[in-house]
Amino acid sequence: MIRVGIGYDVHRLKTGRKLILGGVDIPFEKGLDGHSDADVLMHAICDAVLGSIALSDIGRLFPNTDPQWTNASSKIFLQEAARRVSESGGGIINIDSTIIAEAPKISPYVESMKSNIATALGISPQQVGIKATTNEGIGFAGRKEGIAAFAIAAIEIKSQK
């Protein structure tokens, strides 16, 4: 059985934080504000993977009220989502994602992001799609107030556990 899930995340940009996207530390004057490393790309992918097996979202599994997740690497969240897919008798077919950011330019970092995400999920980088777009100066992303990401995950349930 083929299943899909969709994920979305958004965080404000804030001075004094590192900008981490897809597990890559990107040089920029601001970073994303959040309890963990605020990696919107990994968070959206995590929600998509969890959604594909009809589980709750990242916020319920890793609540921002729990101090153990303060500044945590989002790689941990992806690894847990992949573990749960495997536990359900499934395997990840592919991930497709889009980052919405007016700045910085994302393209120089895409291959590293794909590698980081694939490693965390236990899949090949060829199974991870990452695109980036601007918001054409419109809305919070267009005003450079935040960055958002969408993701879709496809999995195949091979056996019911």
pLDDT in tens, 30-83: 999 998 999 999 999 999 999 999 998 888 888 778 777 777 899 999 999 999
Number of domains in the chain: 1
- Residue 150: which CATH number? 3.30.1330.50
Whether residue 154 contacts residue 2, with contact meaning beta carbons closer than 8 Å, is answered with yes
Domain span holding position 42: 2-157
What pLDDT does 160 receive? 62
Q: Output the pLDDT for position 70.
A: 76
pTM for this predicted structure: 0.95
- Cα→Cα distances 37→3, 75, 77, 87, Å: 29, 10, 11, 26
Q: In the predicted model, what is the mean pLDDT of residues 1-9? A: 97
Q: What is the mean pLDDT of residues 88-96?
A: 97
Spatial separation of the C-alpha atoms in residues 102 and 38, rounded to whole Å: 17
**Cis omega (within 30 of 0) for bond into 27:** no
| pLDDT at 159 > cutoff 70 | no
